[in-house]
């Protein structure tokens, strides 16, 4: 599972690895990105990579309201191609989620202690994800209607994403049996390219990035989704 992560690095670093990706504006460092919040995501639209903000927690096209997104923050790699919420997005709307660490929790003397997990190099990386565009139905008196003949207003559209998870590696397994699926930089274009006939993305699912990682305890303030400061990533001495 992945329930929180950080994005504190300059995203311009990713532009060097992804051809034609433009980072035209500043993204403030994030130290505690939580479900239902917006975060930078790289998708493939109009035959080129695009960086924009999306909401974490995928809202399927068929959803009646956006509340379902809070339950779809992760998608298991093993069932991606079977679940109605994800299988179409896997084929047509894959994305990369920039990050430089994520959090996991372990029970320590009856309390949930958060740990930060990152590459030993400290470098930025990308989770594999899929995204969806949901159009909020218009409300007419006591019921909702979808007017497909009219262009939706911008405030009716929500682009949302989910993070794909896989079996934890030997470093993370003592904390949790799942971890986010991290994409090899050489495979970014394989994962993003959603043009018909391009199916190299399937090999990305079976060959996640696997580099030396470090894990250290951080303050329980991470448990509060409203806290988003550099104090979240400072090493913490467990009492």
Per-residue pLDDT reduced to its tens digit, 77-101: 999 999 999 999 999 999 999 999 9
Contact (CB, 8 A) for 184 and 209: yes
Q: How many other CB atoms are found less than 10 A from the CB of residue 132?
A: 25
Give the pTM: 0.92
pLDDT value at residue 225: 96
Q: How many other CB atoms are found less than 10 A from the CB of residue 189?
A: 17
pLDDT value at residue 145: 54
Domain-located, residue 175: yes
pLDDT value at residue 134: 95
What is the C-alpha separation between 187 and 155, in angstroms, rounded?
34
Domain-located, residue 238: no
Please give the tally of structural domains in the chain.
1
Token duo for residue 50: 């695009």
Domain-located, residue 78: yes
Token duo for residue 146: 């979808």
With 90 as the cut, is the pLDDT of residue 161 above it? yes
pLDDT value at residue 212: 94
Q: Is 45 a catalytic residue?
A: no
Q: Is 126 a catalytic residue?
A: no
Domain-located, residue 28: yes
Q: How many other CB atoms are found less than 10 A from the CB of residue 12?
A: 13
Q: How many other CB atoms are found less than 10 A from the CB of residue 67?
A: 11
Domain-located, residue 239: no
pLDDT value at residue 177: 95
Domain-located, residue 49: yes
What is the C-alpha separation between 73 and 206, in angstroms, rounded?
21
Percent of the chain whose predicted confidence (pLDDT) is above 90: 74
**Of these residues, 13, 66, 82, 104, which one is catalytic?**
104
pLDDT tens readout for residues 174-207: 999 999 999 999 999 999 988 777 788 999 999 9
What is the per-residue burial (b if ≥16 Cβ within 10 Å, else e) of 70-98? eebbbbbbeebeeeebbeebbeebbbbbb
Token duo for residue 24: 């035209």
pLDDT value at residue 120: 96
CA-closest candidate to residue 23, choices 35, 37, 7: 7
Give me the CATH number covering residue 192. Answer: 3.90.1680.10
With 90 as the cut, is the pLDDT of residue 67 above it? yes
Q: How high is the mean pLDDT of the chain?
A: 91
Torsional class of 109: left (φ above 0), alpha (ψ -120 to 50), beta (otherwise): left
The domain in which residue 10 lies consists of 5-138+147-233
pLDDT tens readout for residues 97-148: 999 999 999 998 888 999 999 999 999 999 999 999 999 887 655 455 555 4
């Amino acid at each position: 599972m992945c329930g929180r992560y950080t994005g504190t690095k300059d995203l311009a670093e990713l532009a060097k690895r992804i051809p034609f990706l433009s980072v035209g504006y500043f993204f403030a460092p994030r130290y505690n990105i939580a479900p239902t919040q917006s975060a930078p995501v790289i998708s493939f639209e109009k035959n080129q990579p695009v960086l924009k903000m999306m909401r974490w927690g995928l809202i399927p096209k068929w959803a009646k309201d956006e509340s379902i997104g809070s339950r779809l923050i992760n998608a298991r790699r093993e069932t991606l191609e079977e679940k109605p919420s994800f299988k179409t997005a896997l084929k047509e709307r894959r994305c990369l989620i920039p990050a430089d660490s994520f959090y996991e929790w372990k029970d320590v003397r009856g309390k949930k202690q958060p740990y930060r997990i990152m590459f030993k190099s400290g470098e930025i990386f990308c989770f594999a994800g899929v995204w969806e565009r949901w159009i909020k139905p218009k409300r007419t008196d006591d019921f909702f209607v979808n007017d497909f003949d009219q262009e939706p207003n911008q405030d009716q559209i929500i682009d949302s994403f989910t993070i794909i998870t896989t079996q934890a590696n030997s470093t993370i397994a003592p904390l949790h049996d799942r971890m986010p699926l991290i994409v090899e930089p050489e495979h970014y274009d394989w994962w993003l390219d959603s043009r018909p006939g391009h199916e190299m993305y399937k090999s990305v699912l079976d060959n996640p990035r696997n580099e030396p990682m470090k894990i250290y305890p951080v303050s329980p303030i991470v448990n509060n989704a409203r806290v988003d400061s550099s104090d979240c990533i400072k090493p913490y001495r467990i009492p």
